[in-house]
Amino acid sequence: MEEEKDRLKEIFEAIFAGAEMGIALLDLRGRVLKLNPALRRLAPSLKPGEPLWKSLAIYRRSEGDGWLDEGLRRLASGSTGSVEGEVFVKPRGDRPRRARVKLLRAGEAIALLLHEDISNALEEMAAGIAHELNSPLDAAIRYVGFLLEDMLEDDPRRRYVLRIRDALERMEGIVKGMLRLVRGGPEPFAPVDINQAVRRAVELFEDRMAESGIEVELDLDERIPKLLMGDIEQV
């Protein structure tokens, strides 16, 4: 029997130490008894012997400040359910990252499970793509500007170069939007020129419509006030 207990203990310790998910054991007062390496990496402020509420006090909890403490009290009183919620953890030298927390009663202790949200990986991928695109886009826009400087106003090729510039600037706006998503910056809302948006849409498909024998005649009212707020790149 003792050998079986020792074997099970070894298996538990191996899983506990090697798990990618952060795991901690708490006493019924909410004090941290033990935490695995993954949790030490994800939440370096968690320390054995300290109350969980104190260790997590620096985290911005998206679902209100009381849910975690209330859940601990409920589990400590004998509840057999679980408590789940979201926190923002900050590994050393890294930006805050979303994580899901689950608490459940485990005998005379409370188990804490913490894993990173999949959105972290998506945000990192978006940031990588945005940074890779930024430099070539900047160069392309700059070279198109040089071409326009050397072109006469009546050069028949000028309108195509202008379309290239517009397309590049639209791509630049998309890249900036990806970076805002990752960094959590505000949306660049500003008064939208509806006439400009219509012209850009028509210019984008002008050649295809001409090939199909479609003629578009614009009759725009330049007096339309810019009452609509938004991002022109998304219109």
Token readout for 114 is 């913490």
Closest CA to 106 of 47, 45, 24: 24
30 in Cβ contact with 72 (< 8 Å):
yes
- 16 phi/psi in degrees, rounded to 5: -60, -45
* Average pLDDT in the chain: 75
For the chain, give every residue range classified as CATH 3.30.450.20: 2-116
pLDDT, average across residues 154-161: 87
127 in Cβ contact with 177 (< 8 Å):
no
Span 76-122, pLDDT tens digits: 887 777 877 777 776 666 666 777 778 888 788 888 887 776 555 66
Q: Is pLDDT at 60 greater than 50 in this prediction?
A: no
**Among 50-54, 60-64, 204-208, 229-233, the least confident range:** 60-64
**Among 114-128, 196-210, 216-230, the least confident range:** 114-128
Give Cβ neighbours of residue 152 (< 8 Å, ≥ 6 apart).
158
Question: Three-class SS of residue 31?
Answer: strand
Q: For residues 64 and 99, what is the distance between their CA atoms, to the nearest angstrom?
A: 15
Q: Is pLDDT at 35 greater than 70 in this prediction?
A: yes
Q: For residues 232 and 235, what is the distance between their CA atoms, to the nearest angstrom?
A: 5
Architecture per CATH, domain 2-116, reads as: 2-Layer Sandwich (3.30)
